[in-house]
Structure 1
Amino acid sequence: MTHGHARRLWALDAPTLTVQSETLLYGTSGEVTIPCPSFLIEHPRGLVLFDTGLHPDAIEDPEKVYGRELAPLLGIGGTSEQRLDKQIQALGYRLGDITHVISSHGHFDHTGGLFLFPEAKHFFGEGELRYANWPDPIQAFVYRQEVLDTIKRLDVREVPGDLDLFGDGAITILATPGHSPGEVSVVVRLASRSFILTGDAIHLRAQMEQEFHFPIDADTKTALRSLRRIKYLKESLEATVWISHDPDDWAEFAHAPGYYE
Structure 2
Amino acid sequence: MTSTIKVHVLHCGQVQVDIAVPFKQKTLNPLAFTGLFRSSKHQIVIPVSAYLIEHPKGLVLVDTGWHTDVRGDQAKYLGKISYRISKAFLPEGQAVHEQLLKMGIKAKDLDYVVISHMDADHASGIKLLNEAKNMMTSDMEWQATVKNKLRYKQHMWEGIEIKPFSMTDSEYGPMRKSFDLFNDESIVFVHTPGHSHGMVSTIVQNNGKFVLLANDTGYSKESWEEMILPGIVVNKKHAFESLKWVKNMSLKSNCIEALANHDPEILPHVIEL
Bin for the TM-score computed over the shorter chain: 0.7 to 0.9
Q: Which deviates more, 220-229 or 26-35?
A: 26-35
Equivalents in 2 of 1:218, 1:183: separation in Å? 11
More strand by share: 2
Task: Provide closer, same or farther for how the CA distance between residues 6 and 150 of structure 1 changes in structure 2, counting only shifts above 3 A.
Answer: farther
1:146 to 134, 155, 178: 155
Instruction: Please point out which of 110, 113, 137 is paired with 1:101.
Output: 113
Query: Residue in 2 aligned with 1:203?
Result: 219
Aligned to 2:8: 10
Greater fraction of residues in helix? 1
Residues 201-231 of structure 1: CA deviation (Å, up to 9, x unaligned): 1113332122232222011101111111122
What does 1:66-215 align with in structure 2 at a 5 Å threshold?
Answer: 66-71=78-83, 73-115=85-127, 116-135=129-148, 141-147=150-156, 149-150=158-159, 153-160=161-168, 161-190=177-206, 193-215=209-231
Distance 1:129 1:148 in 2: 11
Name the SS for the 1:71 alignment partner.
helix
- C-alpha distance in 2 between matches for 1:112 and 1:166: 26
Distance 1:190 1:88, change over 3 A: farther
Which residue does the alignment assign to 1:247? 264
Relative to structure 1, the CA distance from residue 158 to residue 122 in structure 2 (aligned partners, 3 Å threshold; closer, same or farther) is farther
Q: CA deviation at 1:20?
A: 1.2
Match of 1:57 in 2: 69
Three-state SS of the structure 2 residue aligned to 1:224 is: helix
User: What TM-score, normalized by structure 2, do the two folds share?
Assistant: 0.81
Matched residues, number? 248
Secondary structure of the corresponding residue to residue 88 of structure 2 = coil
User: Quick check: 1:15–1:59 contact (8 Å CA) kept in 2?
Assistant: no
Counterpart CA distance in 2 for 1:195 and 1:78 is 27
Identity across the alignment (%) = 25
List per-residue Cα deviations over 1:8-38 (Å, max 9, x = no partner). 1111232101111022213387222111111
Give distance in 1, aligned partners of 2:147 and 2:216.
20
Counterpart of 1:259 in structure 2 is 270
- Contact kept in structure 1, 2:137 and 2:162, CA below 8 Å: no
Instruction: Give the C-alpha shift of residue 165 in structure 1.
Output: 1.6
CA spacing shift, 1:68–1:148, aligned 2, 3 Å: same
1:48-94 Cα offsets, whole Å, 9 max, x none, are 00001122321455345224554354232231200111011111111
What amino acid sits opposite 2:130 in the alignment? Answer: F
Give me the whole-angstrom Cα distance separating, in 1, the residues matched to 2:251 and 2:144.
32
TM-score normalized by the length of structure 1: 0.85
Seen in structure 2, the aligned counterparts of structure 1 residues 119 and 204 have a Cα distance that, compared at 3 Å, is: closer
Unaligned stretches of 5+ in structure 1? none
Contact 1:114 1:150 in 2 (8 A): no
C-alpha distance 230-60 of structure 1, shift in aligned 2 (>3 A): same
Amino acid at match of 1:65: Y
Contact 1:202 1:227 in 2 (8 A): yes
Could you list the structure 1 runs, at least 4 aligned residues long, displaced by more than 6 angstroms after superposition.
Answer: none
Gaps of 5+ in 2: 27-40, 169-176
